[in-house]
Amino acid sequence: MLAWLQSVDGSIPPHALLVAEERLLATQNGVGLYDNGQKSPNHQQGTVHVTSHRLLYIDDARPELCSLALQLSTVAQSEYYNGFLTSSSKVELVLNSASTDDDDDDEGWTCAICAHENPRSLGQRRTHCALCGAVRPAKSTSAPAPANELQCTVCTFINVQGATSCEICGTPLPLPKPKSIPTQTNERQTMKISFRKGGDKAFYAVLKKALQAKAWKVTQTADLPRAEQGAGISGILNAVESNTSASTDSVASALKDLEALTAQAKSMVALASTLSAKLQQQSAQSSLSSSPSSRSSTPLSSSTPTPDATSFIQRSLYNMGLTLSEGPVVQSSDSNSSGDERRYLDELAAEVGGLLSDGLMGGRGMVGLDEIWCAWNRARGVALLAPETFIAALQKAITGRGLGLGMRTLKSGLIVLHEPRLSHASFCARLLSSTPPPFSGTVEDTQVWHTPLDVAAREDVAVALAAQLLQAAEDDGLLWRDVEPFGGVRWTRNVLKDWTWDGD
């Protein structure tokens, strides 16, 4: 019963069943299958999907057991029957049974040379690795390759399958014997898809197109140039280069999108500023017109909403992260808008303060501002913050909210946030307390070495930051450095200050 079809696990959504170059073209539910003119009892209620390579039947009742897949490449012929009275319309497919037993369905495989994982593909199986072009080894399921096929006749070295000359002595290898071609049976099988809920015409049109497109052959030809790239390092380099250019293209197009978005944002700002200008104009006019007429009730009601509206626009702009650099809204710095800005900064400070006390530091003693900025922006989603705004808010958070954190600029210019114990003064004090006072022992005792690595371990900071902390202490003349013969740098207490000449 439909034995020549492959069974698939229909409980998996059809999109996940597709392989690399396969595309889902159309779907129709409420179909049943006929096998050689007979109703197939297990396949009477299901959904059929046509992809560029396959026809998938997913059974409604028992998807994991009764679902089937048919390679379109095995379809020799298709016919369409209109429904008549109780008979629903059907599509008949005449199948080439001979080609079905060939292992068309290509499992994914890992290249033995470059370890590239070649994806599963349909149609004709890949014979070469997509990345380096090395010949694909024989299926691992078959017994270990017959050794004599690739054993060098001269030096008896057993070569990799697919090699044309011996790896050791360069002697041309005998070509492996071609596989015995399975005897073709000319028996023809037919299957029918019965459309019980309609949709037949549209589905058949798509199926017909897919059969004509012969996607399983197209992928093969698309693979050809890659095979021509040749094997070896240059082949790999070419493949990597083409991948890189493809990703560059996609990044470029993505950035183009971003630029378009920025342009939109600019026009938004312009719109908002004209709006607020209009509102201010209106409020000026209304206060002019209302003041002479009646002073009792109208001035209040007509002029109060306008500042609110202005500030609302500004607030929403701030919320969107669009700050008005030269717009008239900020320029006309009446008490209202500057107050808004201050409040905006205050709220930002509260937000970042919350983040910091929620463990943004991650238990580390010292974190670069770039990291905090990225983490905060990630938390904010689309409302990104400019670095200046970020630093202003952070300074406010540190001075105003008592987070118990300090900020310092390292020698490289990197600004970091640190716990109080890592401030310059307390770090240096701790560093020197671990060193005995100078000239108290032998040379070995006097010189306690500090390397970035062990400072990083002791102080729980990153190694690069530890090196900068040590350099800051060195700049103060507390340490001096020793460059070891192989280039490593280590620091020890600078004794020059307290030392007096004791030689001849």
Partner 1 sequence: MALRRRTLPSGFTLPSIHSLHPFFTHQTVPTTLAVQTEHWTRLILSYARHARLFTLGVEDADLKTGPWADILYNPEIARSVKPAHLESLIATLVAQGKAYYDPPKQTRTVLLLWRTLDEWAEVLFTWASDTGQLNTILTFYEIQEPELKSELSGIPTPLLRRAIQALIKSSRAQLIDGTEGGGVRIFASTR
Binding site for partner 1 (CB under 8 A): 439-443, 446-447, 474-475, 477, 480-483, 485, 492, 494-497, 499, 501-504
**Residue 20: helix, strand or coil by DSSP?**
coil
335 vs 442, beta carbon nearer partner 1: 442
Contact between 422 and 431 under an 8 Å Cβ cutoff? The reply is no
* Of 232 and 437, CB closest to partner 1: 437
Closest approach of partner 1 to the CB of residue 450, in Å: 12
Pick between residue 78 and residue 492 the one whose CB is nearest to partner 1. 492
B/e letters for 227-241, b = 16+ CB within 10 Å, e = fewer, are bebebeeebbebbee
Q: How far is the CB of 446 from partner 1 (least distance, A)?
A: 7
* 210 vs 466, beta carbon nearer partner 1: 466
CB of 441 to partner 1, least distance (A): 6
Find the DSSP H helices in 321-414: 328-331, 335-355, 369-380, 387-401
User: How far apart are the C-alpha atoms of 166 and 135, rounded to whole Å?
Assistant: 15
Residue whose CB is less far from partner 1, 85 or 496: 496
Question: Residues 481, 490: contact at Cβ < 8 Å?
Answer: yes
What is the residue whose two structure tokens read 């890592």? 422
Query: Closest distance between partner 1 and the C-beta of residue 440, in Å?
Result: 7
Using alpha carbons only, what angle is made at residue 308 by residues 307 and 313, rounded to the nearest 5 degrees? 100
Asked whether 488 and 428 are in contact (CB, 8 A), the reply is no
CB 470, min distance to partner 1, A: 12
Find the helix or strand (DSSP H, E) in which 118 lies: strand 117-118
Residue tagged 């001849």 (tokens): 504
Residue 103 DSSP class:
-
* Distance of closest approach, residue 427 Cβ to partner 1, in angstroms: 17
**CB nearer to partner 1: pick between 177 and 497:** 497
- Reading the block at residue 288, the tokens are 């002019």
Let me know: does 92 contact 189? Beta carbons within 8 Å: no
What is the dihedral sign for C-alpha 368, 369, 375, 378? negative
Which residue is it, tokens 């069974």?
7
CA dihedral 405, 406, 407, 411 (to 10 degrees): -130
Whose Cβ is closer to partner 1: residue 238's or residue 471's?
A: 471
Closest distance of CB 483 from partner 1, Å: 5
Which of 235, 317, 230 minimizes the C-alpha distance to 273?
Answer: 317
358, 375 Cβ separation under 8 angstroms: no
Nearer to partner 1, 84 or 501 (CB): 501
Torsion of CA 233, 238, 244, 247, to 10 degrees: -130
Q: Which is nearer to partner 1, 388 or 502 (CB)?
A: 502
CB of 233 to partner 1, least distance (A): 40
User: Closest distance between partner 1 and the C-beta of residue 491, in Å?
Assistant: 8
Which uninterrupted H or E stretch holds 50? Answer: strand 46-51
Q: CA 203 to CA 295: how far, in whole Å? A: 76
- To partner 1, the closest distance from the beta carbon of 406 in angstroms equals 24
Query: CB-wise, 382 or 496, nearer to partner 1?
Result: 496
Q: How far is the CB of 444 from partner 1 (least distance, A)?
A: 10
Closest CB 449 distance from partner 1, rounded Å: 9
Q: Which long-range contacts (CB under 8 A, 24 or more apart) does 404-408 make?
A: 405/356, 405/361, 407/369
Q: In degrees rounded to 5, what are phi and psi of residue 464?
A: -65, -40
As to burial, measured by CB atoms within 10 angstroms (0-12 exposed, 13-18 middle, 19+ buried), residue 372 is buried
Interatomic CA distance for residues 252 and 319, integer angstroms? 28
Task: Kindly compute the dihedral angle of the four CA atoms of residues 391, 395, 396, 397, in this order, to the nearest 10 degrees.
Answer: 100
Nearer to partner 1 (CB atom), residue 181 or residue 496: 496
Residue number with CB closer to partner 1 (402 or 485): 485
